[in-house]
């Protein structure tokens, strides 16, 4: 049914408009009293739980940052079957993001190009909202992803991240430093080791007891991935998220004219799967087994999630396939993982 709805209606809407329509429905689930019923229908049918970061995850599959930028639909998303929900990217200063249009579907590739630009209402506003969610029974694990405000130069990035950290670490189950979005000028330069080490050390100190992870780009070289993984261990991070969107357009099936119209931005979805898996294996070969590694990029099915777990991922996230698979996507993955677990 969702495939028919997507083909006949949603695919004809502007992608950002379609996102907001779906988001409003998901956000309303708790308000209309459907959360508990929905959760019973979407949770795993066997024990898939994972304990990591000092936290308990009912399922290894969660929602990546970018869908719920301001933490407005955490409870509704948890009801749909995601074991954890990572909100953001949030910045110290509220900002509108890049001019529209800024979100584009590449349907033949089951992919998306976005240049949203960290549009969000700011860390302080989100912190107040998330504080109300934090003590709700049965909520999903709550991750908070933070980035650099656009109005702040790279030289002042540490202070900017620290503002967000101090506001959001107290209401987060885990915190993520995003230095890998291609849509904020200068941000990816923070992945250079001489800039990344002092940033991560400062945020780690400010975050206190809240577990801290760093999210990296797929466009790093293999050697750069290894060096950042080693740095994560050196500064005593709790984990790494791999990977963010890519600036590559290699191997796409979508007509070149459509890709050119979409323009600059990060590509996510199925074309990212192979590189994301490569980066996961590089990281897992570099870091100790105790370090949490969250794999994201091109994940669509339960088999994809199982492959990432077998390759060393502690947890797995998805996002783009939500657009193509619909609101029961997490349920489908949980049920497929449950079947795979039952026969193993």
- Predicted local confidence at residue 10, as pLDDT: 61
The reported pLDDT for the residue numbered 288 is 96
Arithmetic mean of pLDDT over the chain: 90
Provide the token pair at 248: 């590559």
* Angle, helix 222-234 to helix 193-207, in steps of 10 degrees: 30
Write phi, then psi, for 104 (nearest 5 degrees).
Answer: -140, 135
Q: pLDDT tens digit string along 225-247?
A: 999 999 999 999 999 999 999 99
> Which residue in 181, 268, 276, 295 is the catalytic one?
181
What's the Cα-to-Cα distance from 236 to each of 71, 198, 286, 301, 334, rounded to whole Å? 27, 13, 14, 33, 32
Tens of each residue's pLDDT in the chain, 344 residues: 666 655 665 666 777 787 777 788 888 888 777 777 788 888 988 999 999 999 999 999 999 999 999 999 999 999 999 999 999 899 999 999 999 889 898 999 999 999 998 999 999 999 999 999 998 988 999 999 999 999 998 889 999 999 999 999 999 999 999 987 776 766 677 767 778 889 999 999 999 999 999 999 999 999 989 999 999 999 999 999 999 999 999 999 999 999 998 898 999 999 999 999 999 999 999 999 999 999 999 999 999 999 999 999 999 999 999 888 888 899 999 999 999 988 76
Going by their DSSP bridges, the two strands 61-63 and 239-242 should be labelled as: unpaired
Q: How far is CA 221 from the centre of its chain?
A: 21
How many C-beta neighbours within 10 Å does residue 32 have?
9
Query: Tokens 């698979």 map to which residue?
Result: 325
**What pLDDT sits at residue 9?**
58
User: What is the reported pLDDT for 36?
Assistant: 79
Dist. CA 280–CA 294, nearest whole Å = 8
Q: How far apart are CA 64 and CA 73, in angstroms?
A: 13
Q: Is 35 a catalytic residue?
A: no
* Model pLDDT, residue 167: 98
Give me the pLDDT at residue 187, please.
66
pLDDT confidence of residue 31: 78
């Amino acid at each position: 049914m969702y495939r028919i709805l997507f083909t006949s209606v949603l695919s004809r809407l502007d992608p950002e408009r379609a996102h907001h329509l779906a988001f409003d429905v998901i956000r309303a689930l708790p308000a209309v009293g459907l959360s508990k019923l929905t959760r019973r229908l979407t949770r795993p049918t066997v024990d898939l739980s994972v304990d990591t970061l000092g936290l308990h995850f009912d399922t290894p599959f969660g929602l990546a940052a970018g869908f719920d930028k301001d933490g407005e639909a955490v409870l509704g998303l948890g009801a749909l079957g995601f074991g954890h929900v990572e909100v953001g990217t949030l910045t110290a200063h509220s900002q509108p993001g890049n001019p529209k249009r800024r979100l584009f579907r590449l349907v033949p590739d089951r992919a998306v190009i976005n240049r949203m630009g960290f549009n969000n209402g700011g860390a302080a506003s989100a912190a107040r909202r998330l504080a109300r969610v934090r003590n709700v029974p049965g909520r999903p694990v709550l991750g908070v992803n933070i980035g650099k405000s656009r109005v702040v130069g790279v030289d002042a990035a540490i202070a900017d991240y620290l503002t967000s950290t101090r506001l959001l670490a107290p209401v987060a189950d885990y915190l993520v430093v995003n230095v890998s979005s291609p849509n904020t000028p200068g941000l990816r330069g923070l992945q250079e080791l001489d800039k990344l080490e002092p940033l991560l050390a400062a945020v780690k100190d400010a975050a206190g007891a809240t577990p801290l992870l760093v999210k990296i780009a797929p466009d790093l070289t293999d050697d750069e991935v290894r060096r950042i993984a080693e740095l994560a261990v050196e500064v005593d991070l709790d984990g790494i998220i791999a990977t963010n969107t890519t600036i590559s357009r290699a191997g796409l099936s979508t007509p070149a004219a459509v890709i050119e119209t979409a323009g600059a931005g990060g590509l996510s979805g199925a074309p990212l799967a192979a590189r994301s898996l490569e980066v996961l294996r590089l990281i897992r070969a570099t870091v100790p087994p105790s370090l949490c590694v969250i794999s994201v990029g091109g994940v669509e099915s339960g088999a994809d999630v199982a492959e990432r777990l077998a390759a060393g991922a502690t947890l797995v996230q998805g996002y783009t396939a939500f657009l193509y698979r619909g609101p029961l996507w997490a349920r489908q993955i949980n049920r497929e993982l449950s079947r795979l677990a039952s026969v193993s």
